Amino acid sequence: MGYAIAMPDDQSRSVETDENTTHQPAWAGMHLWQMQPVRDVLLGLSVFALIIIGQKTSVVTVPLLLAILLAYLFEPVIVWIMKKFGASRRVSVIAIMVAIIVGVVLPIMAGGAYAAGQLVSFTTDTISNVNRVSRAIDATDQTTAREKLIGEYVPADPSETAPNAIPDAWVWVYDEIQAAQTNHNSSFGDALDAGIDWITSNSEQVAKTTASVSVDLVNRGLGIIGAAFGISFMVFVTAFFFFFTATEWIQLKGFGVKLLPDKNRERIIDLLQKFDAVISGFIRGRITIAFIQGIVFSIGYFIIGVPGAFILGPVVAVLSIVPYLALIGLPISVSLLGLQGHEGFRGEWWWILGAPAAIYFLGQALDDYVWTPLIQGKSTGMDTPTILFASLAGGALFGVFGLLIAIPIAACVKILIQEIFWPRFKEWAEGRADDPLPIE
């Protein structure tokens, strides 16, 4: 005999609903933004959008990032001043800013002004020498023309002033062009004649092009003035942000630590400390070495007579951040010294070739055997071939910016491989892990 149990209609519907709900997938009742893959994609898009916004507002973000970088680099100096003199953090930051202005900015401005004057004089002399060589080539009496170039011409009229000699490099250019025109089997003379004929037959077009170039030069000059104001504004904003960032650096670091996940916070902090040791050691060391090398190269080029020494010296010093890239300055300094045309031994070929080479090897020796062991040491833990490869790869991918960041990034990648990827790979190779990737 069976028994039937009557249930209210709402309870029966509740049972049916519960039974149907158990068969639905978990994501069916979720919003789109609650799904983890969608959340990951949205996070990536948010980071990309943040980068785009930062690029569009670079007039503010670039000085802010530079200020954070400077605060990071000068933090040991700030701490040292505080301990050494018992000064507050605010006073220590102000002292560093004053020292930078007095010890770096003002000397650079003075040296740059002097070097700019040198380069203007050098450019004027170069244009004058080009014109004299051109007139000598077009002269009817080549013997007299060459005598005027080398300073051996004696005027028949006592009231006529004998022209000064031009540098030997320009005499060599004249001799080569003259030989090419004399020997018709040389294609150089034919190309030169063809170029002169084209200019003569298209003189009107050449005049228009010259006028257009003149307008373009004026526009470029105005652009340079505008860029100077822009750089001045950026320097001011960077100094403004640096002051407040450096004075609040401890709070800024504490805020960054709070953003780390609790699960792997200790592991992340340990890796960040190792990254800090590598990056700070390399950046602080290389910037300090580049500053010293700038002084060495500038004084060296000035002594041997290279025009624009106080511009070329810092440029070569910045290039020396990458191993052996300062070698680019060797042919430039040789060319400038040869075209300058000094009198005495500084105008001799052995000095023009040997003096810049001596300055380069002296600077490289100081970098390799004095400054790097004393200031930087083995902060990156990488050998020279690895550093050179990282620098070339970074330069090929991201230009000058890539050259600057390639070595620290390569050192951090090496730490990640040693600390995370390599141990996991060994476990997988030994059969103690199912996957070689350190991803759970």
**Tell me, what's the pLDDT at 184?**
54
pLDDT of 318 over the 80 cut: yes
Identity of the amino acid at 143: T
pLDDT of 12 over the 60 cut: no
Q: Is residue 84 part of a domain?
A: no
**Tell me, what's the pLDDT at 200?**
61
- Comparing 327 with 206, which gets the higher pLDDT? 327
Name the burial class of residue 363, with classes exposed (0-12), middle (13-18) and buried (19+) by CB atoms within 10 angstroms of its CB. buried
d(CA 352, CA 338): 6
Identity of the amino acid at 285: G
Q: The dihedral of CA 366, 368, 370, 371: what is its sign?
A: positive
Q: Alpha-carbon dihedral of residues 357, 362, 368, 370, nearest 10 degrees?
A: -170
- Long-range CB contacts for residues 394-401, cutoff 8 Å, separation at least 24: 395/322
Q: Is residue 354 part of a domain?
A: yes
Q: Dump pLDDT digits (tens) for 332-389.
A: 998 888 877 777 787 788 888 999 999 999 988 888 788 877 776 655 666 667 777 7
Q: How many domains does the chain have?
A: 1
Instruction: Decide if 359 contacts 264 (C-beta within 8 A).
Output: no
Q: Which domain holds residue 375?
A: 264-434
**Tell me, what's the pLDDT at 301?**
92
Q: Could you give the count of Cα atoms lying within 13 Å of 103 in the half-sphere of its Cβ?
A: 9
**Tell me, what's the pLDDT at 2?**
46
With 0.85 as the threshold, say if the pTM is over it: no
**Tell me, what's the pLDDT at 263?**
78
Instruction: Decide if 116 contacts 311 (C-beta within 8 A).
Output: yes
Q: Dump pLDDT digits (tens) for 413-433.
A: 888 888 888 888 888 888 787
Q: Dump pLDDT digits (tens) for 275-286.
A: 887 777 777 787
d(CA 216, CA 405): 35
Identity of the amino acid at 211: A
What phi and psi, each to the nearest 5 degrees, are found at residue 6? -85, 135
pLDDT of 15 over the 80 cut: no
Q: Is residue 127 part of a domain?
A: no
Q: Is residue 395 part of a domain?
A: yes
Contacts of 328 (CB under 8 A, 6+ apart): 316, 319
Q: Dump pLDDT digits (tens) for 218-233.
A: 666 667 777 677 778 8
**Tell me, what's the pLDDT at 379?**
59
pLDDT of 243 over the 80 cut: yes
User: Where are the alpha helices (H) located in 101-186, listed in sequence order?
Assistant: 106-138, 142-150, 168-182
Q: Is residue 70 part of a domain?
A: no
Using only the alpha carbons of the chain, give its radius of gyration: 34
Write the DSSP symbol of residue 326. Answer: G
Instruction: Decide if 115 contacts 109 (C-beta within 8 A).
Output: no
Of the candidates 72, 34, 29, which has an alpha carbon nearest to the alpha carbon of residue 281? Answer: 72
Name the burial class of residue 3, with classes exposed (0-12), middle (13-18) and buried (19+) by CB atoms within 10 angstroms of its CB. exposed
Q: Alpha-carbon dihedral of residues 25, 29, 32, 37, nearest 10 degrees?
A: -30
Q: Dump pLDDT digits (tens) for 121-180.
A: 878 888 888 888 888 887 878 888 888 888 877 777 777 777 888 887 788 878 877 777
**Tell me, what's the pLDDT at 92?**
92
**Tell me, what's the pLDDT at 280?**
74
**Tell me, what's the pLDDT at 130?**
81
Q: Is residue 401 part of a domain?
A: yes
Of the candidates 123, 170, 122, which has an alpha carbon nearest to the alpha carbon of residue 307? Answer: 122
User: Where are the alpha helices (H) located in 142-202, listed in sequence order?
Assistant: 142-150, 168-182, 187-201
Q: Is residue 176 part of a domain?
A: no
Q: Dump pLDDT digits (tens) for 172-220.
A: 878 877 777 676 544 555 565 566 566 666 666 666 666 665 566 666 6
Instruction: Decide if 256 contacts 389 (C-beta within 8 A).
Output: no
Q: Is residue 68 part of a domain?
A: no
Of the candidates 282, 211, 326, which has an alpha carbon nearest to the alpha carbon of residue 219? Answer: 211
d(CA 154, CA 81): 69
**Tell me, what's the pLDDT at 197?**
61
Q: Dump pLDDT digits (tens) for 62-111.
A: 788 888 888 888 888 899 999 999 889 999 999 999 998 888 888 878 87
**Tell me, what's the pLDDT at 201?**
66
- Of the chain, the percentage scoring pLDDT greater than 90 comes to 10
